[in-house]
Amino acid sequence: MHRLPLFTAALWWGSLTTLGFLVVPVLFSHLPTPALAGGMAARLFSAQTWVSVVCGLLLLMIFRSNRPLARANTAQAAMIFVVGGMLLALLVEFGVAPRILARDNLKLWHAVGSGMYVLQWLCAGTVLYKLTPAR
């Protein structure tokens, strides 16, 4: 149980990495049209939002508990990145994605969404790094 925060952070960062840097590029290279790939990518990114939120909430609950699962200094240092990553995920889902789907200034909103996804990935990576024990 003491490794639960580390496994949760690894799931969060790993799912972001796999989806954003492997699965979506493969969709666009193998599906017959960009519209088909984009529709599938949108559904996958939406699912990823909820993976991020669940992982973030679990980490916050562990950090706020009085159990020894989360060392106080590590939890405090990582908490801002957990909250930041969750906020970015929700902003992309409810603020950026609807504009991309509506094709409202697609180039701009795709760039904004991509940037926010990378920032979320960095937040999750920072949490993972902070939870990894130093040798």
Query: pLDDT (tens digit, 9 = 90+) per residue, 68-99?
Result: 555 666 777 899 999 999 999 999 999 999 99
Helices (H), 19-105: 24-30, 34-64, 72-91, 97-101
What are the tokens at 13?
A: 């960062």
Q: Note the pLDDT of residue 105.
A: 94
- The residue ranges of every structural domain in the chain are 4-131
Q: Note the pLDDT of residue 49.
A: 98
Do 116 and 132 touch, CB atoms closer than 8 A? no
Q: Which residues contact 37 (CB under 8 A, 6 or more apart)?
A: 24, 27, 28, 31
* Whether pLDDT at 64 is above 90: no
Summarize pLDDT for 17-39 with one digit per residue, the tens: 999 999 999 999 999 999 999 99
What's the rounded Cα separation, in Å, for the pair 91 and 53? 12
